[in-house]
Copies of this chain bind each other. A is one copy, B any other.
Amino acid sequence: MWADQSEVIPEVVILRLPLYARTLAVLAYEGRELVSSQELGERLHVTPAQIRKDLSYFGRFGKQGRGYNVRRLLQELRQILGLDREWVMALIGVGRLGRAILGYSGFAPEGFRVSAAFDLDAGEVGKRIGPLVVQHVNELAEAVQRLGIRIGIVAVPASAAQRVVDILVNAGVRAILNYAPADLRVPSDVLVREIDPVTALQSLTYYLKLQPTEQLVPLQMLSAPGLFRTEP
């Protein structure tokens, strides 16, 4: 039943849930017990109707006229998103970017753990970075099985990204966080999320370019690109 249900939930709804959860976590931290869809919408620049519709895919959470219980809704969302457990990740590419990712303190509190680091360059193999020893990418498939790696983080140059992704996919990894500015080819059952600051900047400049000589174009804030815009 859940599998059937999941097929009809638009991916854009799933993409908004982590942002709802993040805002609820702030409210919980502030000691708030209840929140209305109105206030949640204002904080996230989305209509209350959108929030109610998104949540309705997963059941009934709020009481009419009373709002949502902050902690309960947060807990439900974390369960729906699979955030009530730890996820094991592998990093591929231990250059400057890869090392920054290994040093990033934001993963662990959210249950994401980088448990192995790999590189294509044999010269990097055996080096110690924090608690990890860099392995050659040839050892990846074995590590995926042994450590239960579910997510691969690609931090190699664009020219090597497809090769690394093929290795991850062949090893059974079905979720990839890609920092390389490259269009990756993956089977239809593999999910890719791109983290690319340059692409993000390149759509900002379109609007900046219009500003100096033209009237400022009013735009909604985008908490995440495209998620909170309604197509006309």
Contact = CB atoms under 8 A, between A and B. Distances in A.
Copies in the complex: 2
A221 B192 contact: yes
Given A100-B100, A188-B220, A191-B222, A177 B202 contact: no
B110 A206 contact: no
Interface string A83-122: 1000100000000110111011011001010000000000
Given A203-B17, A203-B18, A225 B222 contact: no
A189 to B, nearest CB: 5
A181 B82 CA distance: 19
Contact of A206 (B81, B186, B222): B81
A15 B192 contact: no
A22 B183 contact: yes
B225 A225 contact: yes
Contacts of A188: 218-221
